[in-house]
Chains A and B, each alone.
Chain A
């Protein structure tokens, strides 16, 4: 490269490797939010009446709600009228038909992201539903799964093909009036993934959704619904990226999980939305509601999340332990560098008898990042012999970052056992020097120490994802110590 400016630019571009923009012709509903916009979204998707009614109910409720202010995150007010609530690549119209009808630019986008969608190249052992802005563009391995009775498709497709399932379960875990961002999502959600695993079936591959925000000034409001019927098992992965832009973009998703008797759902997220630049410009506002219901006896739900992206992360993947002997788990890593802010954690609500929950959270803050763990363990009166173990550790990489922990514990039953352990440490010069004296660079040393710190969580991820997550941590850590 000829001059220093180019070199600097090359280096900066490298920081967020998924920051490119795809040029596709898009069908975008003009900015702004009102009932007409909601009707337009619903019409574009050819939705049944019950869904439109639900959307409107949620919207009318949202209008009287106020934005939550209880978290530690600070951001300039979101202009909800300045966002476009629907954008889809034109070639798709609304229906993701066959793959050869998908805009090749979009397919190339996923290739660049390492998610090949074409039949001959698709990932072994992982069925992928790819969501591009507001619509799902492709779902792989669908036929093979259908042979086992597993329904895995985009949310829109589920609304068309399995409306009874959608109507039966949608909103049963996160109701339309749950919270400000969930209500907004319930009004304007566009697509997402749907999965139903029939009784006794063990899903043989990892199911995965890959979310990509491409268009400018749009929000992404996806809705995911996973139902594991009695005695079934499914493991689900979610990945996300977005282009680098100077303005902030809103992502307000809702994920609902339902595990019936003896069923198990494992849900893993590697969240890598664009985090903004070194000065804190741009980045995704990630306001997400994720909740699982252990509806049946002996059911299990496990959340694992690695959060490295977004300018702001606000999410608390939770489990309602309704069935007796049900088990809820949360394993989380949240990394904030530069000006990133995260307020994240979980809620475990023990309702059934002999229910158990485990929470392991690892927060890492570098640069001027602010990292908050917020968790609630709630044991209701009927939850005899329920147990919880919580461990929250924070690691500080510098002296301008912050780590905060807000554990809430509410116990209404005398037989419950609740344990909480917490630690805060700073990455030590001694540790760094020790590694350097053995030949490792300072950056390699930091990423080794951080990976060690997160090990308990990372090893909970499926193998390929664990490797990805480690790489992602390494990249996100570059230049964050000091």
Chain B
């Protein structure tokens, strides 16, 4: 795994409602790598995911984020999405009256158009979705229901992974995709994600628990605490965390937060 990082975050500071959350995060992700971001509640994991995806409520106060050599922070969220950044939401949003299938089609065609590919017609699109839906073992009937409307927690998360499989992003960020999943659903979601691992794709898995990482085995594990990455390591770090708890790593390595590579 070599070459320039796909994503490089330097000294990132971000706040919401005037309250600082990220206090100098450093992280680089190369194509083909799977990074896990772990940390206790309130440590800034979801904030990091949302800032990378471009949610406007977060105010970036310092630092830089570069994606494929470009300044990511100056791009609007839809531009980031079309350039290949995908966020699997912790709380997927309901859109009443818009069918899942038509939403997915609009999203895919927006992305394809941006990449200079032809938009798929209804038949091609259906074929593709029906193939990908098997990956997440999702009920086909959910495609004709309104986006996430009345979906169970597990169905919503599978639906996120289905979107991931259809949109084929370069960088996928899974924000607490494991929360609220029973073990069977967790395995299905993990299997789906593993099938999407590829040398061209970077994946960031944000999670509170080690459990998911038994199924999606990361190349790197980072521990976020009070808005800084305080420890980085291989997957054994996750196991150690499980054993010893987050209390063990609450202090940053250095005053500015450690470089996020082992």
Residues in chain A within 8 A of chain B (CB atoms)? 428-431, 433-442, 444, 448-449, 451-456
Contacts and interface: CB of A to CB of B under 8 A. Distances in A.
A454 B97 contact: yes
Contact of B57 (A429, A440, A441, A454): A429
Nearest to B104: A438
A449 B94 CA distance: 10
B111 interface: yes
| In the A-B complex, the 9 residue pairs with the closest CB atoms | A452-B97, A452-B98, A439-B110, A438-B107, A455-B97, A434-B93, A436-B77, A439-B81, A436-B78
Chain A interface mostly helix, strand, loop or mixed?
A: helix
Given A429-B57, A433-B55, A444-B106, A438 B81 contact: yes
Contacts of A444: 106, 110
Contacts of B106: 438, 440, 444, 448
A433 B77 contact: yes
A456 B167 CA distance: 29
Nearest to B93: A434
Given A429-B57, A433-B56, A448-B106, A440 B78 contact: yes
A454 B103 CA distance: 16
A452 B89 contact: no
B154 interface: no
B96 interface: yes
- Of A431, A433, A439, A448, the most chain B CB neighbours within 10 A belong to A439
Interface in B25-75: 53-57
B181 to A, nearest CB: 20
A434 B114 contact: no
A22 to B, nearest CB: 37
A374 to B, nearest CB: 24
B78 A442 contact: yes
Contacts of A436: 54, 76-78, 81
Contacts of B87: 437
B92 interface: yes
A442 B82 CA distance: 13
Nearest to A433: B55
A431 B148 CA distance: 11
A175 to B, nearest CB: 39
Given A430-B93, A436-B76, A440-B110, A448 B57 contact: no
B54 A437 contact: yes
B107 A431 contact: no
Interface residues of B, number: 31
B96 A438 contact: no
A111 to B, nearest CB: 30
7 contacts: A434-B93, A436-B76, A436-B81, A441-B78, A451-B97, A451-B98, A456-B97
B221 to A, nearest CB: 25
B148 to A, nearest CB: 9
Nearest to A362: B97
A26 B87 CA distance: 61
B92 A439 contact: no
A438 B97 contact: no
B114 A453 contact: no
Given A429-B57, A433-B56, A448-B103, A438 B110 contact: yes
A429 B58 CA distance: 12
Contact of B93 (A431, A448, A453): A431
A431 B78 CA distance: 13
A456 to B, nearest CB: 7
A453 B97 contact: yes
Nearest to A453: B97
A432 to B, nearest CB: 9
A448 B100 CA distance: 12
B95 interface: yes
Contact of B96 (A429, A433, A435, A453): A453
A348 B91 CA distance: 42
A192 to B, nearest CB: 34
B225 interface: no
A433 B80 CA distance: 12
A436 B79 CA distance: 8
A453 to B, nearest CB: 6
B98 A439 contact: no
A430 B54 CA distance: 12
A435 B106 CA distance: 10
B146 interface: yes
B177 to A, nearest CB: 15
A448 B98 CA distance: 7
A433 to B, nearest CB: 5
Nearest to B166: A438
Given A433-B56, A441-B78, A451-B97, 9 more contacts: A434-B89, A436-B76, A437-B53, A437-B87, A437-B89, A438-B163, A439-B78, A439-B82, A439-B107
B23 to A, nearest CB: 24
Interface in B105-145: 106-107, 110-111, 114
B98 A437 contact: no
Contacts of A452: 95-98, 146
B233 to A, nearest CB: 30
Contacts of A435: 95, 103, 107
B82 to A, nearest CB: 5
A455 B97 CA distance: 6
A451 B146 CA distance: 12
A433 B95 CA distance: 12
Contacts of B86: 437
Contacts of B111: 439
A431 B81 contact: no
**Residue picked from B91, B93, B103, most chain A C-beta under 10 Å:** B93
Contacts of B53: 437
B103 A438 contact: yes
B96 to A, nearest CB: 6
Given A429-B57, A433-B55, A433-B77, A440 B107 contact: yes
B81 A437 contact: yes
A271 to B, nearest CB: 21
Contacts of B146: 452
Contacts of B95: 431, 434-435, 448-449, 452
Contacts of A453: 96-97
Contacts of B82: 439
A437 B95 CA distance: 14
Nearest to B98: A452
Contacts of A431: 93-95
B77 A437 contact: yes
A433 B93 CA distance: 9
B161 to A, nearest CB: 14
Contacts of A451: 97-98
B167 to A, nearest CB: 7
